Amino acid sequence: MNTVSISENGLPAQIWNSARQLDDIPFINTETLVPAGARAVVIAPHPGDEVLTCGGLLQQLCALDHPLQLISITDGSYSHFGSPQWSQKRLSVIRPQESVEALRRLGLPMHSLKWIRAGFPDSGLTERESELTRFIIRYLRPGDVVFTTWREDGNVDHDAVGRASARAAALVGATLNEIPVWAWHWPSRDHALIPWHRARKVRLDPWAVARKSHATYAYASQLDGEPMIGAAPSLPRVLLERMRLPYEMVFV
């Protein structure tokens, strides 16, 4: 498993903009990915992951009137640990508010979106995977189509949520789809670690891309670093640039 941080990869030779396999990935339409009548469940390790993983797909599912459920595993309050500006208490309030604004910018119907906030502490999910699996099972039902972070994404929380979601989906009888976030930004030399045979592209039109990019900027607390504690931005420039790709990639 690769564990390189996004913030360490400012150079262009990354998976997302140089892997030769990208051109060969087949497209999949939304109706095939989420059959008519099925509920889509997005499981986000941290606030912001719901947009980074499938902000475009969420727009399409909304347009097709699919029932949607969002499960936010953590509130992301430890992202700036030790910062006097972004304290844990402040972030526990602000980061969920940022998610509300981001989802509004995507055009999701907030009045009918079922949103579960689990309240797990971020950066400690590996030690609580069994508990996390039991929690997710409570909110899944047979026939659901689940979208979450890839269990080998290279971020400990992303990986833990991916593993817990996979176990929960298998036990309930739901369909699991995994989405890379950090893995996009691995060096291009690591392309062989990506499961290209499972990859599918969801095509996004220019309006969906624009709304997704606009939604990403709702996460104001993650756009700037914190020099006082030596923290880089959680959403660095290269990740924001990737948000303008005309597709999203899903591992089916």
Taking only the tens place, the pLDDT of each residue in 164-187 is 999 999 999 999 999 999 999 999
Q: How many domains does the chain have?
A: 1
Question: Taking the CA of residue 94 as centre, how many other CA atoms within 13 Å lie in the half-sphere pointing to its CB?
Answer: 16
Annotate 88-116 with b (16+ C-beta within 10 A) or e (fewer). Answer: beebeebbbebbeebbebbebeeeeeebb
CATH (domain of 114):
3.40.50.10320
Determine, yes or no, domain membership for 57.
yes
Check residue 221 and give its pLDDT. 81
For the segment 26-64, what is each residue's pLDDT rounded down to a tens digit? 999 999 999 999 999 999 999 899 999 999 999 999 999
Determine, yes or no, domain membership for 122.
yes
Determine, yes or no, domain membership for 131.
yes
Check residue 224 and give its pLDDT. 76
For the segment 76-123, what is each residue's pLDDT rounded down to a tens digit? 655 555 565 666 677 777 888 899 999 999 999 888 889 999 989 887
Determine, yes or no, domain membership for 237.
yes
Determine, yes or no, domain membership for 150.
yes
Give, for 239, the enclosing helix (H) or strand (E): helix 237-242
Determine, yes or no, domain membership for 1.
no
What end-to-end distance do the CA atoms of the chain give, in Å? 19
Check residue 147 and give its pLDDT. 98
Q: Determine the structural domain holding residue 68 and report its residue range.
A: 6-251
For the segment 201-233, what is each residue's pLDDT rounded down to a tens digit? 999 999 999 999 999 999 988 887 666 665 666
Is pLDDT at 5 greater than 60 in this prediction? no
Tell me the DSSP string of 55-103: HHHHHHHHHTT--EEEEEEE--TTTTTT-SSS-HHHHHHHHHHHHHHHH
For the segment 56-76, what is each residue's pLDDT rounded down to a tens digit? 999 999 999 999 999 999 986
Determine, yes or no, domain membership for 22.
yes
Annotate 203-226 with b (16+ C-beta within 10 A) or e (fewer). Answer: ebeeebbebbbebbbbbebbeebb
The label of the residue with tokens 């979208």 reads 147
Check residue 230 and give its pLDDT. 59
